[in-house]
Amino acid sequence: MYAITGITGQVGGAVAENLLIAGKQVRAVVRNRDKGRAWAERGCEVALAEVNDASALTNAFASAKGVFVMLPPIFDPSPGFPEAREAVESIRKALAAARPARVVCLSTIGGQVERPNLLNQLHIMEKVAAGLKLPAAFLRPGWFMENCAWDVAPARERGVIPSFLQPLDRPLPMIATADIGKAAAELLLSSTAAGVVEIEGPERISPNRIAATFSHLLGKEVTMQAVPRDSWESLFRAQGMKNPVPRMQMLDGFNEGWIEFEANPRKGTTPLETVLRSLLEQSA
């Protein structure tokens, strides 16, 4: 039995899908029965647990051969990341009590970076989980290609996509969630894989490359437009963010190159065009 958190999301769902294809039993860890119904219909066991409920998580992880752990995304954290720290402590208690044979934690490119930025939340999780001395792998993917979902509407409606990633011709490490899920499932099934595993797509992708791919798929010209750095804070606050600084620091890290892989990442196989085509179909 493999317990999967975040199963209703893209990465967790891809992990579960790959395990089911491999003929393994899956336990869907969800917040409520409604969210787990689709997985129950596919033969998965369902366990109810909130990420901050260590007791419920312990029950969800109990007797599992492997556990896939991911933090709920917090894009507007309070200073010092108290929300992430509370969730990490709950996960730590549950893993320490359940002692699964294998743990795979979804981390991020730059998971080793201590310089302040939004991804520090996953750096915290890595350090805490490593302290449990369980057989654990920390999967560090690049920028999600599926983040381009935010680009679909402006590409279609105006033909101009605002970009916080810049310069616009600089290729960045990106990866499809399907490839992340496949890699995580392989790590759960492995008897030896442990430590940090980094992964990116088959090639690096610039914002301009994203625009060109949208142009090809939509049959019209689509361009990228860099959003001036000095306007970011006011824009993010206008969108409702209370603490935009960590997000801005993360973007600086990608743009300046200090959020990067430590070693030579493994390569996924899903091309950008496949992801963008799917996003366009979903939004049609």
Euclidean distance between CA atoms 264 and 207, whole angstroms: 23
In contact, 86 and 110? CB cutoff 8 Å: no
The Cβ of residue 262 has, within 10 Å, a number of other Cβ atoms equal to 13
Residue 21 has pLDDT above 90, yes or no: yes
What pLDDT, on a 0 to 100 scale, did the predictor assign at position 198?
Answer: 98
Our count of domains for the chain comes to: 1
pLDDT of residue 194: 78
Query: The domain spanning residue 162 has which CATH number?
Result: 3.40.50.720
Global confidence as pTM = 0.96
* Residue-level pLDDT at 191: 79
Closest-CA residue to 257 (of 180, 196, 197, 167): 167
CB crowding 216-244: b at 16 or more within 10 Å, else e: ebeeeebbbeeeeeeebeeebeeeebeeb
Q: How confident is the model at residue 54 (pLDDT cuts 50, 70, 90)?
A: very high
Q: Is 6 in contact with 57 (CB distance < 8 Å)?
A: no
Provide the domain limits for residue 160. Answer: 2-283
Mean pLDDT in residue range 199-224: 98
**What residues have CB less than 8 Å from 127, skipping those under 6 apart?**
none
